[in-house]
Amino acid sequence: MNLTIIGSGYVGLVTGACLADIGNDVFCLDVDARKIELLNQGVVPIHEPGLQEIIERNRRARRLTFSTDVEAAVAHGDVQFIAVGTPPDEDGSADLQYVLAAARNIGRHMKGFKVVVDKSTVPVGTAALVHDAIASELRKRGESHMFSVVSNPEFLKEGAAVEDFARPDRIVLGCNDDVPGERAREVMKRLYAPFNRNHERTLYMDVHSAEFTKYAANAMLATRISFMNELANLADRVGADIEAVRRGVGSDPRIGYDFLYAGCGYGGSCFPKDVKALMRTAEDFGEPLQILRAVESVNEAQKQVLAQKIVTRFGSDLAGRTFGVWGLAFKPNTDDMREAPSRTLIAELLARGASVKAYDPVATDEAKRVLALDLARAPEQQTRLSFVHDAMEAASGADAVVVATEWKVFKAPDFDALKSHLKMPIVFDGRNLYDPHALQELGIEYHAVGRASATQASRARAEVAATQALA
């Protein structure tokens, strides 16, 4: 099938590459000429495991084209995927300007039947706006062509996007009941048939429900995280270990283990903006979502949890102190720095006078770019931020190491080496990666999220052991 992907970012590139990989002829469009130039040189501008190989393989097989040519893009695809960004507007609603610009381009150039797929995350009612934008351009041209707008939200996770796209849990497809809608449904059914061979994964529904499903899923996941984070903060107070609690509640099949990890808050390109957008929709319809309001404010506070623990330990004035930060991306296996908790942490440490040595396995370039913007009004603070090439270098001479992202490479570091590099053997762990007892036995002071009891119990045991040894 001939397909066009409008927007070659995290979602567009993965969608285009994976659909080319099963034999489709895919044309990827972007307005960013630099991005297209890089892709045409074989350079993939984002970090996503496995993506480079698939793009290379399909470019060589001439099933994958990258271009800024709008007219050629519209001419190419029987199916036009809109996969452009939907960032938050000032009032929190999803900014649809890129989606509607893409729609107008389709209307300006289409010459026959098109299936237009909203793959971007868009509020309920957007398919109708996309339809109107296309229809209005057709009217201006005095032409009439059949088309249908379907909602096919994307559920891939950055860091595992290729795997998620190739083996989806579900494919949500919202189509209209009219004649163009029925035709579009058949086209999409054929397109996704290879993904449904093992069992039917496509969930057919009306357009509004499909649009809503994406927001509902992200809101539900964000809620689990914020709820666990709130419980973790309470666990710290009452003397419980949130990791033990997580296992205790996760073993209930009605709850399950996934998405129950406490930490230093969620970030990324989706949860923060989708929570905001859903709240905005709810308010517009006079049905405010009170739980989501709490989810958002808990998350904002949680992004400060590491800085607070550092202040409790070292005092509010951090001048003269140095912290090694391990992990900058909002989660492992991506270079995406959008809304990453590390940004809040670093800004707070620098504002309190500390120096920061930051390390991330892949996100350093992107981190340099976004932190320069974050700190644009504080040039003096920027001079106290440096980026290093490995984890031990970040720890070297530091007062403590702070883990902000759970990259695999941080999961079992050489703690003896870490101790010898640090000025003080102290670890602040925003992702609860380590065993408090093991670190205590190694003589490392350990601060995690919701694990004060485990740390204290271990400290008490060590003190008893030391007293017994003396006696």
Ligand X SMILES: NC(=O)c1ccc[n+]([C@@H]2O[C@H](COP(=O)([O-])OP(=O)(O)OC[C@H]3O[C@@H](n4cnc5c(N)ncnc54)[C@H](O)[C@@H]3O)[C@@H](O)[C@H]2O)c1
- Decide: is 85 part of the binding site for ligand X (CB under 6 A): yes
Between 89 and 445, whose beta carbon lies closer to ligand X? 89
- Decide: is 277 part of the binding site for ligand X (CB under 6 A): no
Active site residue 270: yes
Query: Is 263 assigned a ligand-binding role in the annotation?
Result: yes
CA distances from 152 to 164, 178, 397 (A): 15, 17, 51
How far, in Å, CA of 333 to CA of 331, rounded? 7
362, amino acid identity: V
**3-class DSSP state for residue 86?**
coil
As to burial, measured by CB atoms within 10 angstroms (0-12 exposed, 13-18 middle, 19+ buried), residue 253 is exposed
Query: Is 38 assigned a ligand-binding role in the annotation?
Result: no
How far, in Å, CA of 313 to CA of 205, rounded? 53
Window contacting ligand X (CB under 6 A); options: 51-59, 96-104, 142-150, 393-401 = 96-104
How far, in Å, CA of 59 to CA of 21, rounded? 10
Window contacting ligand X (CB under 6 A); options: 25-33, 123-131, 306-314, 377-385 = 25-33
Candidate list 35, 331, 431, 451; residue touching ligand X; CB under 6 A: 35
- Decide: is 83 part of the binding site for ligand X (CB under 6 A): yes
Dihedral sign of CA atoms 157, 158, 164, 165 in order: positive
Query: Is 155 assigned a ligand-binding role in the annotation?
Result: yes
- Decide: is 48 part of the binding site for ligand X (CB under 6 A): no
Residue 174 β-bridge partners: 151, 205
CB of 177 to ligand X, least distance (A): 26
Structure tokens given for 385: 């931020």
Q: Are 394 and 366 in contact (CB under 8 A)?
A: no
Give the residue at shortest CB distance from ligand X: 9
Candidate list 80, 213, 269, 381; residue touching ligand X; CB under 6 A: 269
CA distances from 27 to 20, 60, 98 (A): 9, 14, 18
CB of 83 to ligand X, least distance (A): 5
Out of 18, 175, 264, 270, pick the active-site residue.
270
Query: Is 214 assigned a ligand-binding role in the annotation?
Result: yes
User: Which residue, among 449, 435, 434, has the nearest Cα to 230 in the 3D structure?
Assistant: 449
CA distances from 37 to 40, 102, 207, 287 (A): 5, 20, 35, 46
Which string of x and - marks every residue 104-143 that binds ligand X (by CB under 6 A)?
----------------xx----------------------
Q: What angle do CA 178, 184, 189 make, to 5 degrees?
A: 125
Window contacting ligand X (CB under 6 A); options: 106-114, 151-159, 258-266, 408-416 = 151-159
Window contacting ligand X (CB under 6 A); options: 84-92, 239-247, 343-351, 380-388 = 84-92
Window contacting ligand X (CB under 6 A); options: 4-12, 384-392, 394-402, 448-456 = 4-12
Query: Is 273 assigned a ligand-binding role in the annotation?
Result: yes
DSSP state at residue 77: -
Candidate list 48, 154, 211, 360; residue touching ligand X; CB under 6 A: 154
How far, in Å, CA of 169 to CA of 203, rounded? 10
CB of 341 to ligand X, least distance (A): 17
Candidate list 55, 102, 106, 370; residue touching ligand X; CB under 6 A: 102
Q: Pick out residues in 155-214 that bind ligand X (CB under 6 A).
A: 156, 158
CB of 372 to ligand X, least distance (A): 19
How far, in Å, CA of 184 to CA of 314, rounded? 61
Between 6 and 187, whose beta carbon lies closer to ligand X? 6
CB of 285 to ligand X, least distance (A): 21
How far, in Å, CA of 296 to CA of 274, rounded? 11
DSSP state at residue 220: H
- Decide: is 93 part of the binding site for ligand X (CB under 6 A): no
Between 278 and 306, whose beta carbon lies closer to ligand X? 278
Query: Is 142 assigned a ligand-binding role in the annotation?
Result: no
CB of 224 to ligand X, least distance (A): 17
Query: Is 121 assigned a ligand-binding role in the annotation?
Result: yes
- Decide: is 370 part of the binding site for ligand X (CB under 6 A): no
**3-class DSSP state for residue 416?**
helix
- Decide: is 101 part of the binding site for ligand X (CB under 6 A): yes
- Decide: is 10 part of the binding site for ligand X (CB under 6 A): yes
- Decide: is 270 part of the binding site for ligand X (CB under 6 A): yes
Q: What are phi and psi of 198, to 5 degrees?
A: -65, -50
**3-class DSSP state for residue 352?**
coil
Per the listing, tokens 């989706």 go with 270
User: Which residue, among 55, 29, 25, has the nearest Cα to 43 in the 3D structure?
Assistant: 55
106, amino acid identity: I
> Which stretches of the chain bind ligand X, using CB under 6 A?
6-12, 29-32, 35, 83-86, 98, 101-102, 120-121, 154, 156, 158, 269-270
Catalytic residues, by residue number, are 270
Annotated binding site for NAD(+): 30, 35, 86, 121, 158, 273, 338
